[in-house]
A and B are shown apart, each in its own frame.
Chain A
Amino acid sequence: MIVEEAERKRIIAARNKALALVLLGFVVLFFAITIAKRSGHSAAETKAALEGTTAGAGSVAH
């Protein structure tokens, strides 16, 4: 199959833009995860709350 270079460049440019957006999304996601982890409400905290202990709460604060 013969592909025009212009078409090839267009596809690659669109792919690069999509990849850049995905990477940016992941940066934002990891930033948000870090903030959320520091503020608690993790599974470990829930488990500790259900068991009536506070053992899990400290582990997410670090």
Chain B
Amino acid sequence: MQVPHLIPDRAPADWRDFFALTKPRVMTLVIFTGLCGLLAAPGHINPVLGFATILCIALGAGGAAALNQWWEADIDAGMKRTAKRPLPSGKMSREAARDFGIALSGFSVVTMGLAASWLCAAILLVSIIYYAVVYTVWLKPRTPQNIVIGGGAGAFPPVIGWVAVTGDITWMPVILFLIIFMWTPPHFWALALFVKTDYAKVGIPMLPVVAGEKATRRQIMAYSLLLLPLTLFPMFIPVAQGGTGRIYGVAALVLSGLFLALAVRVGLRVRAGDDDRMKPEKQLFGYSVLYLFALFAALVVDRWLLMAGGAT
């Protein structure tokens, strides 16, 4: 009878674990906004170079996510929402995650430089450092305003997509950056409101934990109020420089109006008790994801129709 040879070790990490390390769900939004920046920009880009640009944005985001999980493995282990990730669940060594993150980040930046431009590569590098170091290491464990400043990391993809086509940072990519920057706090705080106990348990000073629910709800309303006029700014940019028309304007007004309405509902609400199911907060969080997809899709559709009409 053949006796199986046993090794006293954990199973090696599967390729799926490495894939999970890149936070694929978050990456979807990053890829989409980057692609929209690229498609809405005035000018042309070779489809291969466009594909390489988006791929590099995805790889850079994946690398930054891996470095984030390497640094926060202990914190993730203490939170219900993140305890099943590859590192806290013991499927992978911390060194493997770190090396994977560094390799992916380095490769994405160099390839971006070769495929698109070194300006794009520089912006990608800044966004990776912003997320993996400024947000993860420095801001997140120190200040309840972590997500406000750190949110900038997720706002770079449309800028990179835009610059890959035009070669320049103009007003339009800056506005796209600011839209995501302003969208991030209400999006994330809506989530933080219903996973507050998780953050409190691991000592992360998220706004609801430190300043309380009332202050968080007020700030959700304030950022949503600022977001609405900001999303209308692209209408005031000349079309030749990437500005938009009425289709985007109507879409932005309707989408942002609904966002504000949901935010006001959350903002004026008082939790019913410990068994409150936080339905409005969950609705705002779910809608915020859909909102960003729809807003950027409207931007691309509007730009394409303008270009097809010969407005550029």
Contacts and interface: CB of A to CB of B under 8 A. Distances in A.
23 contacts: A2-B7, A6-B4, A8-B11, A14-B15, A15-B12, A15-B14, A29-B52, A30-B111, A30-B114, A33-B111, A36-B48, A39-B46, A41-B49, A42-B117, A43-B120, A43-B164, A44-B167, A46-B44, A46-B45, A46-B165, A46-B167, A47-B168, A50-B166
B166 A36 contact: no
Interface string B45-60: 1101100100100000
A43 B113 CA distance: 12
A43 B167 CA distance: 5
A4 B46 contact: no
A29 B55 contact: yes
A42 B55 contact: no
Interface in A6-55: 6-8, 11-12, 14-15, 18-19, 29-30, 32-33, 35-37, 39-44, 46-47, 49-50
B1 interface: no
B14 to A, nearest CB: 5
B11 A3 contact: yes
Contacts of A39: 46
A interface: dominant SS: helix
Interface of B: 4-15, 42-46, 48-49, 52, 55, 90, 111, 114-117, 119-120, 163-168
A15 B55 CA distance: 21
A51 B167 CA distance: 11
Contact of B49 (A14, A15, A36): A36
Size bracket, chain A contacts = 20 to 34
Nearest to B55: A29
Given A15-B12, A33-B114, A43 B45 contact: yes
Nearest to A14: B15
A44 B139 CA distance: 36
Contacts of B166: 43, 46-47, 50
B5 A12 contact: no
Given A47-B167, A49-B43, A35 B9 contact: no
A1 B49 contact: no
B167 to A, nearest CB: 4
A13 B258 CA distance: 50
Given A33-B111, A50-B43, 12 more contacts: A3-B11, A4-B5, A8-B9, A11-B14, A14-B14, A18-B15, A29-B52, A32-B48, A35-B48, A37-B49, A42-B45, A47-B167
Contacts of A15: 12-15
A54 to B, nearest CB: 14
A41 B47 CA distance: 9
A33 B90 CA distance: 38
Contacts of A19: 15
A50 B45 CA distance: 13
A5 B5 contact: yes
Given A33-B114, A46-B167, A47-B166, A41 B10 contact: no
B55 to A, nearest CB: 7
Contacts of B90: 1
A5 B7 contact: yes
B7 A8 contact: yes
B46 A56 contact: no
